[in-house]
Amino acid sequence: MTRLITLCALLTVTAFVADAKARPEIMGVALSMSREAAQARLKTIGRLEREEPKRQEVWAVNDPRVSHILVGYDADYRVRYVTAIARAGGPRIRYQEVVDITHAQRSNYQGNYKFTLEARRKQLAYVTIAHGRDPQYLESYSVKRVDPKEKEID
């Protein structure tokens, strides 16, 4: 029974992670979502660990592959970016699970790998960034809204 529950959890996480390539969200927290909606979603998968300056939150999540979700909000308290931190010692996440590496801009600086891909979905322009120190497995990945009128605060 425990093995079945673990398998179901991994399949659910894989669906969330694989879906990240196609959509501007991570684990159900979407770009431009209201703070209330984002917090409601995050409360179902974890707990608020701390609020940071500049409208940012850190959430510890109950997930075998992701330990934390970081969320940044704009001045209207709509999700501006979401970052997932891979769980140390957990099942590893390959870069290609979250970003189309065949079309992404790739960089490797002193053993730090980074894949960046800009995309547009309807009226939303966003960028997906995955990085880590391993050439196959990431340490974190983010989706971030791109708005030339918006002043960056992170």
Query: Could you report the per-residue pLDDT of 48-71, keeping only the tens digit for each?
Result: 999 988 899 999 999 999 999 999
Task: Give the pTM.
Answer: 0.81
In a domain, 150, yes or no: no
Number of domains in the chain: 1
In a domain, 154, yes or no: no
What is the domain range of residue 91?
Answer: 2-145
In whole angstroms, give the CA distance from residue 93 to residue 73: 26
**What are residue 99's DSSP bridge partners?**
none
Q: How many CB atoms lie within 10 A of CB 115?
A: 22
What is the model's pLDDT at position 142?
97
In a domain, 90, yes or no: yes
Compute the radius of gyration of the chain from its Cα atoms.
Answer: 15
What is the model's pLDDT at position 114?
95
In a domain, 126, yes or no: yes
**140-145 and 79-86: which strand pairing?**
antiparallel
In whole angstroms, give the CA distance from residue 65 to residue 130: 15
